[in-house]
Structure 1
Amino acid sequence: MGSGTPRVVVLADSDSRWKWAASVARRIAPEHAIDARFLAVATTPTERQIAEVGIVPDTTAVVSCVELLDDPAVHTADLVVLGTTGGTVLSLIHSLGVAWEGSPHRPLLVTGYVGVVYENLVDGLLLRVGSDLILANCAHDAERFRSVYRSIGADPEDIVEAGLPFLGGDPYDPPAVFGTHGRDRQPTGARPFTVTFAVQPSVPGTRAARSGMLEKLARHARLHPDREVLIKLRNRPGEAVTHTERHSYQSLYEELPNPPANLTLVYGDMGEVLDRTDLLVTVSSTAAMESIHRGIPTAILTDYGVREAHGNHYFIHSGLLASWAELDKGLIPAVDPGWAASRGVGHQDPYAAARARIAELRAAAPGTRAPTHPYYTPQSAADYLETLLSRRGLGLDGKALPPSHDRAPTAVRRLIRRGAGGLYQVGRKRVAPVIRRLAKG
């Protein structure tokens, strides 16, 4: 273990992953100093996005993966929390593992998932094999994860049930009274009944669908002039987020003809917005879990279908599925308690098991900590591993590629080389013609 004050390095490559990783660090190592490292990528969070989380790191730096491998803070840390994409997680598990071979000390590696896991489960899990702790957000996820690990020969003990680390805040204190069936709720408190719509950058994805969503919000505001209807945006203009947003709601809002006065755009910390929310509406945002945890009525929209592609299928047994038409008529959905419990909502200290596992691993004799063992190795998947590593400036030997090396092509060149048809077989037909024109030009 490193000398002096215990330290945890938190690596993040976007705003939401910084929020997750920093919150995890505080939950599993509350007495540790935090060394924040942000990957120099297109989604690197801004100072405002970093500060919005409310966790002040002791040191900060913006680095590349290559620079991270040379960072003394990483090698002397007690814990390293990787809040990055799965490909970066694997690249660092592999490369740091090489760097730590023969070392009497290596930090514990902690990984997990920023939000609810509704897609790419196997893909993401296999990329995280080799972490000392893979945090599952609930019992439901932990059971699924361990099943996958057993089937591939990975240690299921590395999967630790925890929870979404940013669940918290004051319990909901409604300013109104429910009707007999959760309908006809009228505000009686000092503040108006507030409906908050939590936007997502890619769901729904088309301009027409997002304009339609705004029209539904405006309609709801007009039908309920005594309510405040808030559109909670993820970022301010010019700021990058974890997932690229096309057709921003702010731009589309400016095109609305005569928007009602009680329809407002808001920014800032989701927790602060939830403090004034009486009904949270979304397609499948992780904000729904924050809302449910507080006891705030929550609606998962069905207007665009209940689909794996949208992620709202995750809420299929929750009792929260609803359409805007139903919400317009006064429906206030109520969560199924059993479903909420199985998804980790309401636990008083969900990170106790993670802290116990860390203490157990730390209790081992110095120098006996097992080396990292990723699932993908130069022996088992050289082509795949080399592709992931090269995109981050690294080679199969875990070291920096030479400056003259022909590294991974730019995003546009990759799209052209792979072919529009292959890339967009999942449905992005509108983008394929653009790619073909680029390829020909």
Structure 2
Amino acid sequence: MTAPRVLAVADSDSYLKWTAGLLDHMPAGWSRTLAVVRSPIAPSAEQIRSALNGTAAGTPDVLTARGVAQRVRRERPDVVVLGCTGPVVKVLSRMLPAADRPVLVSGLPGISVPASERAWVFRSAVDLFVVHSRREVAEFTEIAARLGLPGRVGFTRLPFLEPAPPAEVRDRVVFATQAKVPAAPADRERILLALAGLAELRPDLRVVVKLRALADEQQTHREDHHYQVLWRRMAQAGRVREDALHFDAGPMREHLARAAGFVTVSSTAALEAIAAGVPLLVLSDFGVNAEMINLVFEGSGCLGTLAELTEGTFKTPDPGWCAANYFHDPADETWLSHLAELLEDARAGRLPEPVHLPVWTHPLGEPRARLRLELSPAAFRRVDVLRRVLRRH
């Protein structure tokens, strides 16, 4: 039997990082190709370099949505990994052949607690939904059963929880930003002030705001109040010393290799810090709940406050929490066994017809999502501006 051929497609920096790592964890003999689908949130060249750091992936081709569908029809891969945001998975899965088709795999590139029904509905056509903890498996399996979806839920350790070798000197504190939370600019300024206080108290440490994207780059989720922009305004107003903090992008694993402490409000990078043995703080000042995307850290021993951040107090996670959340025994993972069974079903013609559940409430929702992939990002932004102007009038 020939080795399976895999085509993986990603659409943003975080999904590219996850997808490349997932490919690395497939059996060594499998043929694996990675591509980026063109969209308004496609990663820049520097973001691609950072996302692929520490993986075996080479520079991916950038394809249009039609290019992805044409490549699948031409090359007939055995597996297609749609490592993309939900709307892009929905659009691409509709464009792929339904008969004599490849196994479709998708998943989520980080913490997914509580499980989202909407995430499954966007991915209703996939055969295997990959998540990263037993709790996520249970919750997403329940949702699939309730929706009547035939797709399986498998789990594996987050593929990028393999730290870089530690540096000889750990001389920095790394704050991992999150695009969505906290949303209010005043709350973000509170974090920056606490980081600045730490920098004043500990001049021996380099306090780094690790950005997912520079102010002129795109990322998976829209960021309305970019930390770097807020900091410049605060410095211009004389509220902070401009050189107190350092803003940097680059691979998280390289920052963590030199980190003496790590802080975030809600970021999967907290798990990378744990894997790298870096003491950390998950800030609880803005709430610990589903809205702040940090509910899973209850009981972790990592929750802390802005006051503790300013004092340089970082914490070590509870081993029991780690074992139950994302740091399970690799022998317990299920995604590759599910994938092997699905490949057998595909070769025997037993894969079910893809299920395409409706997800958009507005009749133009799906056409707009497809337009995002059909047009160049610049052209789509012009069309979107025109659409908003027409809506106002």
**TM-score, with structure 1 as normaliser:** 0.76
The DSSP-based 3-state class of the residue aligned with 1:36 is strand
- Please show how residues 220-369 of structure 1 align to structure 2 within 5 Å: 220-255=198-233, 256=235, 257=238, 259=241, 263-345=245-327, 347-348=329-330, 353-364=334-345, 366-369=347-350
2-side partners of 1:382 and 1:416: how far apart? 25
Q: Note if contact 1:9-1:35 (Cα within 8 Å) is conserved in structure 2.
A: yes
Name the CA distance, whole Å, in 1 between partners of 2:47 and 2:84: 16
User: How far apart are 1:112 and its partner, in Å?
Assistant: 0.5
1:74–1:80 CA contact under 8 A, matched in 2: no
Shift of 1:202: 2.9
Residue 153 of structure 2: aligned partner: 159
Unmatched segments (≥5 aa) in structure 1:
174-189, 395-399, 402-406, 418-437
- Give the Cα separation in 1 of the matches to 2:319 and 2:115: 27
Most deviating of 113-122 and 364-373:
364-373
Displacement of 1:299 in angstroms is: 0.7
Deviates more, 1:223-232 or 1:41-50: 223-232
Deviation by residue 1:335-373 (Cα, 9 ceiling, x = unmatched): 1222221212254467x5222222223334834231443
Task: Give yes or no for contact 2:188–2:227 (8 Å, CA) kept in 1.
Answer: yes
Within 5 Å, which residues of 2 pair with 1:194-213? 194-213=172-191
Larger Rg: 1
Q: Residues 146-199 of structure 1: CA distance to partner in whole angstroms, max 9, x if unpaired?
A: 11122222346x1112121111115879xxxxxxxxxxxxxxxx6354321111
Q: 1:35: Cα distance to partner?
A: 2.7
Equivalent residue for 1:127, pick from 122, 130, 133? 122
Distance 1:371 1:341 in 2: 35
Asked if the contact 2:180/2:222 (under 8 Å) is kept, the reply is: yes
The answer for the alignment partner of 1:49 in structure 2 is 47
Checking the alignment, whether the CA contact within 8 Å between 1:320 and 1:333 is kept in structure 2 is yes
CA contact (8 A) 1:10 1:81 kept: yes
- What is the aligned partner in structure 2 of residue 8 from structure 1? 6
**Is 1:297–1:332's contact at 8 Å kept on the other side of the alignment?**
yes
The residue correspondences of 1:70-89 to structure 2 (distance < 5 A) are 70-72=70-72, 75-89=75-89
The whole-number CA distance in structure 2 between the counterparts of 1:335 and 1:135 is: 25
**Which sections of structure 2, spanning at least 5 residues, go unmatched?**
375-379
- Alpha carbons 1:7, 1:78 under 8 Å: kept: yes
Per the alignment, residue 373 of structure 1 pairs with 354
The CA deviation string for residues 62-101 of structure 1, in whole angstroms up to 9 with x for no partner, is 33323322224775112111111212223333332xx242
Q: Which residue of structure 2 aligns with residue 181 of structure 1? A: none
How far residue 223 of structure 1 moved from its aligned partner, in angstroms, is 1.7
Residue among 94, 110, 113 paired with 2:105: 110
Residue identity matched to 1:370: L
CA distance 1:327–1:149, shift in 2 (3 Å): same
How far apart are 1:36 and its partner, in Å?
2.7
Which of 364, 368, 381 is 1:391 aligned to? 368
3-state secondary structure, aligned to 1:278: strand
Number of residue-to-residue matches in the alignment: 381
Alignment of 1:136-151 (within 5 A): 136-151=131-146
Q: Given the two structures, how large is their TM-score scaled by the length of structure 2?
A: 0.85
In the TM superposition, residue 18 of structure 1 has moved relative to its aligned partner by: 0.8
How far apart, CA to CA, are the structure 1 residues paired with 2:281 and 2:365? 38
CA contact (8 A) 2:34 2:61 kept: yes
Hey, what's the Cα distance between the residues in 1 that align with 2:385 and 2:124? 30
**Residues 146 and 159, structure 1, Cα contact 8 Å, conserved in 2:** yes
CA contact (8 A) 2:149 2:355 kept: no
In structure 1, give the amino acid aligned to 2:122. Answer: L
* 1:206-255 deviation digits (Å, cap 9, x = unpaired): 33332232111111111222333221112234221111223322233334
Which amino acid is the alignment partner of residue 40 of structure 2?
A
Alpha-carbon distance between aligned partners in 2 of 1:278 and 1:346, rounded to the nearest angstrom: 25
State the distance in 2 between where 1:280 and 1:274 align.
8
Query: Residue 288 of structure 1: CA displacement?
Result: 0.5
Structure with more contact order per residue of length (Cα contacts < 8 Å, sep ≥ 6): 2
CA gap 1:132/1:74 in 2 versus in 1, 3 angstroms: farther
**Are residues 239 and 282 of structure 1, via their aligned partners in 2, closer, same or farther at CA, if it must alter by over 3 Å?**
same
Measure how far apart 1:42 and its partner are. 0.9
Matching residue of 1:421: none
Given the superposition, is the C-alpha separation of residues 211 and 90 from structure 1 closer, same or farther in structure 2, using an over 3 Å criterion? same
Match for 2:70: what amino acid?
A: D
Matches within 5 A, 1:404-423: 410-412=383-385
More helix by share: 2
Q: Could you tell me which residue of structure 2 aligns to residue 425 of structure 1? A: none
**Given that residues 35 and 73 in structure 1 are in contact (C-alpha distance below 8 angstroms), is that contact kept between their aligned partners in structure 2?**
no
Contact 2:6 2:33 in 1 (8 A): yes
| Structure 1 residues 29 and 126, CA gap change in structure 2 (3 angstroms) | farther
1:110 deviation in Å?
0.8
Distance 2:95 2:230 in 1: 44
What CA distance in whole angstroms lies between the structure 2 residues aligned with 1:88 and 1:171?
A: 35
Encode CA deviations 1:361-403: one digit per residue, 9 max, x unaligned: 3334834231443151xxxx49869755423449xxxxx99xx
1:45–1:29 CA distance, 2 compared to 1 (3 A): farther
Change (3 A) 1:127 1:382: closer
| Counterpart secondary structure, 1:363 | helix
Letter in 2 for 1:140: R
**CA-based RMSD:** 3.3
CA offsets 1:303-337 (integer angstroms, 9 cap, x no match): 22324222122212212111021233453322122
Give me the whole-angstrom Cα distance separating, in 2, the residues matched to 1:364 and 1:202: 40
SS of 2:317 mapped into structure 1: coil
Which amino acid letter does the alignment assign opposite residue 23 of structure 1?
A: G
**What SS does the aligned partner of 1:284 have?**
coil
SS of structure 2 residue aligned to 1:362: helix
Distance 1:330 1:72, change over 3 A: closer
Cα 1:275–1:38 change in 2 (3 A) is same
